[in-house]
Amino acid sequence: MKKLFLLIILSGIVLSCDKKDDDLYGNYQIARPLKVSLAEFKSEVDIIAPMPINESGKIYAYEDYIFVNDKYRGIHIIDNANPKIPKKIGFIKIVGNVDISVKNDYLYADSLMDLIVLDISDIQNIKTINRLENVLRDNVIWPLEADFVEYEDIDYSTEILVGWETVTERRLKSEFEERGRGWGFAEFANTADASVGQGGSLARFKIVDDYLYAVDSHNINVFDISNLGDPVDLDDVYAGFDIETIFNRGQHLFLGSMRGMYIYDISSPATPTFVSEFQHGTACDPVVVDDNYAYVTLRGGNGCGATESGLFIIDISDITTPRLEKTYSMDEPYGLGIKDEKLFVCDGTSGLKVYDKSNIKKLRRLNHFKNIVTFDVIPTEDNLLMVGDGILYQYRYRNNNINLISRLELN
């Protein structure tokens, strides 16, 4: 009886300690710098055999191929001639890479502040044909979604910052509150040009005719690519703070940022000019656009500053005065895409949500694919491509529904 009484007391102490820990501690996202030697950064781009993905990033579709970014490491090449049986066929090793765009078999990729041009006309014999140095000057994006950013000393004479590694750790809530006081940081492309590929809504590269537009945290970097193998670096256009994504419709660029959506006119393509903006507070967001509306997902509950997540639909029928038309609650949305009257939203761990957007004031849900982690989508003419948590999914459009046709593990 005494032993039982003692066990009850000890159990109470343990439970009390656990509750106390829950009161004092929480789970937080910790970002730490990733760095490489200057020698490795300047080394030649390498084409190697398929390998497991480390952290799946953005996707890009071009002809019979899908390119999946492996954050800060390079690009996985997938042969998608048969969407039911996609095959990994190679990996392009590019230090610090997060974005690509393709036109007429010329692939443009960032390597931190450098722009690299690859000839992919023979996918089995990819060649580097150009490297423009120091043309993407603010290209290392701050890890906005991290709760803590831990700096390490970097010897800039021998090392270079390529990105950030984010992990979940338990930290004192009081430490998080103190950090908050001193934080200080507040494509889908339905192109008619078959020579240009399609990126997702999280893309920061966009090719329009003979120009490549690449956004960094502050600028639109403009390149004349009329000579595809020899881009000309033109004057940058300052666009504000915390620019994250770019989308094109007609003669306009739509930039998604932490603070809002910015619209630029490219009727004079070498010199984009500001038209208007829509301010939505502070949140992480991409944007896609149809004839009359811009669709923006805002993700809160992270270092971007917002507390709530949602889908914002903005009336752009008057491009000079965008105005909010309707909002819908979401859980943790990332990329999104549109195809005819369908709207696709990657809602993080809440899965893929598909809506009929013919009446934007009353979206009708057509499908909800649960129990998957979703990041970004590309609606192509025939199929929907989606990436999330190291898996590439492909769906086939079926009237008002879409059906899964393949699932490729990238790990």
Q: What is the DSSP letter of 121?
A: S
Q: Report yes or no on 24 lying in a domain.
A: no
The pLDDT value recorded for residue 192 is 46
Q: Which of 77-91, 129-143, 292-306 has the lowest mean pLDDT?
A: 292-306
CA dist., res. 387 & res. 56, Å (int): 7
3-class SS of residue 265: strand
Asked if residue 132 lies in contact with residue 231, where contact means CB atoms within 8 angstroms, the answer is yes
256-135-337 Cα angle (round to 5): 25
Domain-located, residue 16:
no
- Does 364 reside within a domain? yes
Q: What is the mean pLDDT of the chain?
A: 85
List all residues 6 or more positions away from 143 whose beta carbon is below 8 Å from its beta carbon.
31, 149, 164, 166, 303
Strands 25-37 and 148-149: parallel
Alpha-carbon span 52 to 199, nearest angstrom: 22
* Paired residues of 165 in beta bridges: 32
pTM: 0.82
Residue 13 in any domain: the answer is no
CATH number reported for the structural domain that contains residue 330 in this entry: 2.130.10.10
Alpha-carbon gap, residue 351 to 388, rounded angstroms = 9
Q: Between 406 and 20, name the one with better pLDDT.
A: 406
Instruction: Check whether 312 has a pLDDT greater than 80.
Output: yes
Q: In this structure, are residues 212 and 237 in contact, taking their beta carbons and an 8 Å threshold?
A: no
Residue 9 in any domain: the answer is no
CB under 8 Å, gap of 24 or more: what pairs does 226-232 form?
228/103, 228/104, 228/106, 228/117, 229/106, 229/117, 229/119, 229/129, 229/130, 230/117, 230/130, 231/108, 231/115, 231/117, 231/130, 231/132
Distance CA 155, CA 37 (A): 9
* Cα separation, 190 vs 213, whole angstroms: 16
Region 175-200: mean pLDDT is: 58
Establish if 404 belongs to a structural domain.
Answer: yes
- Provide the pLDDT for residue 144: 62
Give CA–CA dist 66/362, Å, rounded.
Answer: 34
Residue 4, in any domain of the structure: no
In terms of residue numbers, what domain contains 253? 30-186+189-409
Q: In what order do the strands lie in the sheet with 310-315?
A: 287-289, 293-298, 310-315, 323-329
Residue 72 lies in a domain: yes
- pLDDT tier at 31, thresholds 50, 70, 90: confident
Please give the tally of structural domains in the chain.
1
